[in-house]
Amino acid sequence: MERPTTSHLFTSLTLGERTLANRVVMAPMTRARTTNAASAPTQIHETYYGQRAGAGMIVSEGLAVSRDAIGGINLPGLFSHEQVAGWSSVTDAVHGTGSALIAQLVHVGAMSHRDLLGGRLPLAPSSINPAGKVSTASGRVSTESPRAMSVDDIERTIADYASAARNAMRAGFDGVEIHAHRGYLISQFANPRSNRRTDGYGGDVKARSRFFLEVVRAVSESIGTGILGIKIAPYWTEGEAHVFDDDSSAAYDYALTEVGKTVSYVHAMAPRTSAWADFVAEDRTALLQRVRSKFDGTVIANGGFNAESAEAVLDAGFADAVSFGLPFVANPDLPRRLALGLPWADPDRSSMYVGGTAGYIDYPTATIADPLAAADH
């Protein structure tokens, strides 16, 4: 018999019209398992998310808001009837265990390639090559100079976000989270290194924030009473193209003061210097304090937390919930392991994005002998 925990992580949290059973959040993670022409989830997605539904809330992997938003092979979308149907089965599986499920909406902008877009160049605020790598059917390839978006392109893309948000609600998601970091489209608008526009969407902080705020407004109007979150990483650095300093981060500060009560929560990701690098605790705290100073709502902390540091950040009032990414890969029962102080399994990183069930739905849950139950016999 398992004993309940008195941990702050396992108190309830009201978010929008939902009450989450605990403050453990599964962070969005790309897993590249949508290996079909429709880019729609299948039975293994139902199993994967259902296995991890001990979290108070799960945020889905990034879901492309349109065909132009795709940034890699085998990644899912939320812009077609087939995708809505597939995600409906996933939301049913998660809701059956009591967890909330949020759809993360994403547009990668320049971080794509014509091989992923039917021969079309990627769209971006300006025609500046981000100098990154993306996965295509031919393997990892270098990005190219994108096509600078016209105002019509911008308006159509905002409408794509709104349409994907409506699709999320049709599919049974409890709300949506807008991906606004890691050098993708929204952060490309925010960053003066990638936004050289001279119209109303480029230039000063207010103009570079305009696209982000218009997306937030359009999505908010599309989901009604659903939960609306934004995920930010103002100091994310991954190569020269994605450097963020105080000037570029100022666009996020401005946006946070403007979203007000439109947004249910801010999901704040601490800085790190590469995909697998450790997060720095001092930087993590500084980011959360900066978000708190600009935004009065619910804050979800993300960035290399363990049980102790998660408790500490909640106890200090820097955040209201904590999200875990990589630990959920190999620990489908992570909330239970947190509650009982059980060790965490390490993921096999070689199988993270290879497709199929291996390294996806075959990680076991922890086993534990209950010493108190054994003592009763």
Task: Please name the residue ranges forming H helices in the chain.
Answer: 43-51, 81-95, 151-170, 185-190, 205-223, 246-259, 281-294, 307-315, 326-330, 334-340, 371-375
Please say whether the beta carbons of 108 and 122 come within 8 A: yes
Q: Return the half-sphere exposure (C-beta side, CA atoms, 13 A cut-off) of residue 331.
A: 22
User: In sequence order, what are the residues at sequence separation of 6 or more whose Cβ sits closer than 8 angstroms to the Cβ of residue 367?
Assistant: none
- Of 48, 184, 235, 363, the catalytic one is 184
CA–CA gap between residue 289 and residue 284 (Å, rounded) = 9
What Cα–Cα distance (Å) separates residue 363 from each residue in 30, 32, 57, 122, 341? Answer: 17, 17, 20, 36, 19
From first CA to last CA, the distance across the chain in angstroms is 13
The residues pairing with 103 across neighbouring beta strands, listed in sequence order, are 176
Verify whether residue 184 is a known catalytic residue: yes
Please say whether the beta carbons of 268 and 287 come within 8 A: yes
Structure tokens at 5: 């925990």
CA–CA gap between residue 23 and residue 14 (Å, rounded) = 10
Please say whether the beta carbons of 238 and 244 come within 8 A: no
Q: Which among 154, 151, 134, 153 is positioned nearest to 142, based on CA atoms?
A: 134
CA–CA gap between residue 88 and residue 82 (Å, rounded) = 10
Structure tokens at 353: 């994005």
* Tokens 């085998």, located at residue: 74
Q: Return the half-sphere exposure (C-beta side, CA atoms, 13 A cut-off) of residue 257.
A: 11
- Active site positions, annotated: 184
